[in-house]
Amino acid sequence: MIEVRGLTKRYGEVLAVDDLSFDVEQGLVTGFLGPNGAGKSTTMRMMLGLDRPTSGTVLVNGQPFTSFAEPLREVGALLDPGAVHSGRTGRNHLRIAARTNGIPLSRVEAVIDQVGLGSAARRRIKGYSLGMRQRLGIAAALLGDPRVLLFDEPINGLDLDGVRWIRELLRRLADEGRTVLVSSHLMSEMQQTADRLVVIGRGRLIADATTADILRGLGRREVRVRSSQPDLLLSRLREHGLVVERVEPQELRIEGSTAAEVGDLAYALGVALHHLSDVEQSLEQAFIELTSDSVEYHGGRTTQEVAR
């Protein structure tokens, strides 16, 4: 478990993280979201003792990260896949990390297989693609078989197979009872993967809730329906006070209702339906709404310029 309490970080006049408090629970994939410059990476660096907080605390399983004698056995992290010695081979990079943390070298071969580096582990890192560097960074994070894992944008550079693999990996790690924190800008992946979401903007907490609760918090309901009698259905639904619009010749969109309610009403009216479904809300839309006041740049213009 990770406990963040009153975390604040200033760089001169810049307030990067502002009195931030939240928990990252074990057994869950927690998505860490926010616009560019929100303070996500700074927060993760403070969790790992790479930056010192101006004030506040971070405890990992009840202790500061800096108190661990063999940190890779306690916490695995991928913050920057480029932060490696490019002249080393992938295997030697992992061997050095293992030796400095008292980890058996047998784990090196195990994680190379686990992340799918294969023969690439014998090559120098300078020849790696971004996706291969991501896999190497994930291998290093898994090396000590830690109970706590932090990943900053782990999907960047991965192909479709790699994206599916990391999604399954995160789920499996959480199902094993580990604490998993993932920062990402890919809302569709977070919607599929994250059990809980922590959303920050301008260094402050905006939301801390389950993914389902955040989606429900949009406060909108929408139904799509197809019928061989779209005109009759449209007029009847509007007579019952529903907001309805035609999106296809035989397809309607209804706001403020559910598929069950529309289906019952259509049945009572004697109108046959060929398709009926609730429209799943988008985490991307929820994120935009939650962070609308916290985005520093809009299409290359500052928030102040947009306001003008």
- Both 193 and 122 in a single domain? yes
Coil, helix or strand at residue 11: strand
Instruction: Residue 195: name the closest of 292, 283, 80 by CA.
Output: 283
Q: Are residues 13 and 107 in the same domain?
A: yes
Helix (H) or strand (E) holding 263: helix 259-269
| Residue ranges making up the domain that contains 132 | 2-212
Buried b (16+ CB within 10 A) or exposed e, 101-133: bebeeebbeebbeebebeebbeeebeebeebbb
| Each residue's pLDDT tens digit, 69-103 | 889 999 999 998 888 899 999 999 999 999 999 99
- What strands lie across the sheet with 275-278, from one edge to the other? 243-248, 251-255, 222-226, 275-278
Q: Identify whether residues 188 and 97 lie together within a single domain.
A: yes
Q: Is the pLDDT of residue 3 over 70?
A: yes
Contact between 190 and 201 under an 8 Å Cβ cutoff? The reply is: no
CB half-sphere exposure, 218, CA atoms < 13 A: 20
CATH number at residue 245: 3.30.70
* Confidence bin at 306 (pLDDT 50/70/90): very low
Q: Which of 37-46, 121-130, 216-225 has the lowest mean pLDDT?
A: 216-225
Same domain, 110 and 132: yes
pLDDT per residue as tens digits for the range 9-61? 999 999 999 999 999 999 999 999 999 889 999 999 999 999 999 999 999 99
**Structural domain tally of the chain?**
2
pTM for the structure as a whole: 0.80
Question: Which of 252, 190, 161, 157 lies closest to 32, judged by CA?
Answer: 190
CATH number, domain with residue 140 = 3.40.50.300
Check whether residue 73 and residue 147 sit in a common domain: yes
- 149/251 same-domain check: no
Spatial separation of the C-alpha atoms in residues 200 and 153, rounded to whole Å: 16
Same domain, 36 and 182: yes
Answer yes or no: do 64 and 147 share one domain.
yes
- 84 shares a domain with 150: yes
**Residue 279: predicted pLDDT:** 81
Q: Are residues 124 and 239 in the same domain?
A: no
How far is Cα 166 from Cα 188, in angstroms, rounded to an integer? 14
